[in-house]
Structure 1
Amino acid sequence: MIAAGAFAQSLADKVDALLPQTQCTRCGYPSCRDYAEALATRQVDLNRCPPGGTATIAALAATLGCAPKALEPSCGDERPWVVARIDEAACIGCTLCIQACPVDAILGAAGRMHTVIESECTGCELCLDPCPVNCIVLAPMALLAATKDSGTKLNAKVPDSFLSWWMRERAASARRRFLARQERLLQLRRARAERKRRRRTAMPGRDADRATKQAVIRAAVDRARHRRGAHDS
């Protein structure tokens, strides 16, 4: 059983490395890792990743030892990769897009203008629906050269070998940012729970006082009902 579990985890690691790490949830799972683990244990089909498209399906089929399938239509279509852009003049600073971004690729604060870190945006589109003023649009992803001048755009045809490397690097970065965000949110939840625990510890008599007051009220109500019943009889 332990060996089988270790094999499944190892296979999940290999599968996860093939996924584009958009964390878009179109596959029906909350993260690329969850989808990878389901694939490793044969719980789901390999054709549910629109961002990865046919290339990812073929790679998954080779790794899992099964035949490739056409992309599942209910998961969406394979499309060119995009990034989100915020119309900063229309942004009201509600932070809903920041909360929705799975890789912390949106900067801003409550009441302040937000902006997208395009080099880190995965194009998951999860920020679109929460925006109450529809100030987020999708734009084609600009492919940047891996040079010190990170703003240099490749205008010529990009070699497939470089494109493959670039997408793997981008996926790896997205995975790291997603995991870092998950850890940050976990720490926030723990901190809130600890503050709540400390408040309870600092005021141990509060619950007892509340219970006592409720008991007094119930007793008064019971006495009033008793007197009313005696008067009616």
Structure 2
Amino acid sequence: MLMAILIMVGLAVFFGALLGYASLRFKVEGDPITDQIDQLLPQTQCGQCSYPGCRPYADAIAKGEVGINQCPPGGESTIQALADLLDVEVIPLNEEMGEHLDEPTVVIIREETCIGCTLCIQACPVDAIVGAAKLMHTVITSECTGCNLCLPPCPVDCIDIIPLKQRIDTWVAPEPVSALTKIPVRVEAKS
């Protein structure tokens, strides 16, 4: 009987130590669903969803505080992906947050008009604008997400929105034209 008790205590200590190690080794940091939602968002950090960036918006979606339709840069494709992930109904984009543009845009600064006020630098959430006080500023187009948050604070209206130039990684082939549509068809009446 003493041997059985010692074996049971030994097994309890062994499995307790094993579970303690496993809880430390396989500990999950953060919320995995928030990470999955954040990966689906466009990462523009634009704030159009009324949150300061994509991660806080993902956290709010995971907690059920806000709907999945608050992200204009993501558009319908992001809403569809979020609905599939969370197994909820697809709802249209909330028009109060802004509109989704099919063609991506960036901003440029007309450097000859820029007065160097630095208000656009402070407004840019991704630090895509460089310059110094009382000197001209410029936009690093590869970093610009097209959120247009730099437009309202500019006192001289020297920032323009332009469509993003196609690059090799963003180019999409045009739809092929059928050869049959180019050949005129003549129908002759038989007598």
TM range, smaller chain: 0.7 to 0.9
Q: C-alpha distance in 1, partners of 2:39/2:68?
A: 14
Provide the residue aligned with 2:94 in structure 1.
72
RMSD, matched Cα: 1.9
The structure whose Rg is larger is: 2
Q: 2:131 aligns with which of 100, 108, 117?
A: 108
Provide the residue aligned with 1:32 in structure 2.
54
* 1:122 paired to 2:145: yes
Q: C-alpha distance in 1, partners of 2:163/2:36?
A: 29
* 1:19 paired to 2:41: yes
Q: Which amino acid aligns with 1:125?
A: N
Give 1:145 deviation, angstroms. 2.0
Query: Identity over the aligned pairs, expressed in percent?
Result: 52
After TM superposition, the score normalised by the length of structure 1 is 0.60
1:144-193 deviation per Cα after TM superposition (whole angstroms, max 9, x unaligned) = 225xxxxxx84x6279xxxxxxxxxxxxxxxxxxxxxxxxxxxxxxxxxx
If each structure's helix is expressed as a fraction of its own residues, which one has the higher value? 1
What is the aligned length?
147
Which blocks of at least 5 consecutive residues in structure 2 are unaligned?
A: 1-27, 176-191
For the residue of structure 2 that corresponds to 1:74, the secondary structure is helix
Q: 1:157 aligns with which of 173, 177, 181?
A: 173
Is the CA contact (8 Å cut-off) linking 1:8 and 1:41 kept in structure 2? Answer: no
Provide the residue aligned with 1:136 in structure 2.
159
Q: C-alpha distance in 1, partners of 2:131/2:156?
A: 16
Q: 1:54 aligns with which of 50, 65, 76?
A: 76
Which blocks of at least 5 consecutive residues in structure 1 are unaligned?
A: 1-5, 147-152, 160-233
Q: C-alpha distance in 1, partners of 2:143/2:96?
A: 27
For the residue of structure 2 that corresponds to 1:51, the secondary structure is coil
After TM superposition, the score normalised by the length of structure 2 is 0.72
1:45-66 deviation per Cα after TM superposition (whole angstroms, max 9, x unaligned) = 0011111000000000011111
1:15-40 deviation per Cα after TM superposition (whole angstroms, max 9, x unaligned) = 01111111111111111111000001
